Amino acid sequence: MNEEINKNQDIDDKESAIYAFKKIVEAYKGQLAGKIVEALARYGELTDNEIAERVDADDSEVRRIIWVLAGEGLLISKKVVNDTGWITFFWKLPLDQVDGLILSLYRRIIDRLEKKLEYETSNIFYWCMDRNHERLTFSEAVDNMFKCPVCGKTLMPYDNSELIAAIKYSIGEMKRFMNEYFMEVKENTAESQ
Point out which residues bind Zn ion (CB under 5 A).
128, 130, 133, 148, 150-151
Q: Please state, in angstroms and rounded to a whole number, the distance separating the CA atoms of residues 103 and 106.
A: 5
Q: Compare residues 50 and 140 and give the one whose CB is closer to Zn ion.
A: 140
CA distance 139 to 124: 9
In this complex, which beta carbon is closest to Zn ion, that of residue 130 or of residue 187?
130
Q: State which residue, 37 or 128, has the beta carbon closest to Zn ion.
A: 128
Shortest spacing between CB 11 and Zn ion, in angstroms: 54
Give least dist CB 133 to Zn ion, A: 3
Q: How far is the CB of 162 from Zn ion (least distance, A)?
A: 20
Residues 6+ apart with CB under 8 A from 14: 95
Rounded distance between C-alpha atoms, residue 88 and residue 67, angstroms: 14
Distance of closest approach, residue 121 Cβ to Zn ion, in angstroms: 24
Nearer to Zn ion, 151 or 165 (CB): 151
Distance of closest approach, residue 154 Cβ to Zn ion, in angstroms: 10
Q: Give the whole-angstrom CA distance, residue 118 versus residue 139.
A: 17
Return the DSSP state at 78: E
Cβ neighbors of 77 (< 8 A, separation 6 or more) are 70, 89, 90, 91, 92
Identify which of residues 108 and 147 has a Cβ nearer to Zn ion in the complex: 147
Between CA 193 and CA 173 the distance in angstroms is 31
